[in-house]
């Protein structure tokens, strides 16, 4: 048996915790059918190799939001996030192609 898959775009947004409600409202208003949000931690490495951890305290929390939708919808959402939140908040955006099994859900 061969599964029939359908291509969609996954927009992954890594942002400050305080943006969660605003991001949820924005993606709904711009045409997404759903989303998933997780609290995440990350870090970076300095030039000297020293590890710096982000999201270590209660006021320094980070979320990861995933939205699967048509590519054009994902691009509109990403552009609005960059415009509205990029200048003032830590926001990372990734677009990737995914294959889904139930296209009516996305």
The 10s digit of each residue's pLDDT in 5-23 is 999 999 999 999 999 999 9
CATH, domain range 6-105: 3.30.70.120
Residues of the chain with confidence (pLDDT) below 70: 1, 49, 51-59
Give the list of residues 6+ apart from residue 11 with CB closer than 8 angstroms, or none: 66, 67, 68, 69, 74, 77, 78, 93, 94, 95
The model carries a pTM of 0.85
């Amino acid at each position: 048996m061969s599964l029939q898959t359908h291509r969609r775009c996954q927009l992954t947004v890594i942002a400050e915790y305080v943006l969660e409600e605003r991001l949820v409202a924005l993606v709904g208003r711009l045409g997404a059918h759903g989303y998933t949000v997780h609290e995440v931690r990350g870090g970076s490495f300095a030039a000297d190799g020293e590890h710096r951890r982000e999201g270590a305290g209660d006021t320094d929390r980070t979320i990861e939001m995933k939205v699967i939708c048509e590519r054009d919808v994902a691009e509109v959402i990403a552009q609005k996030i960059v415009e509205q939140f990029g200048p003032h908040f830590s926001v990372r955006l990734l677009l990737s192609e995914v294959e889904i099994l139930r296209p009516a859900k996305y």
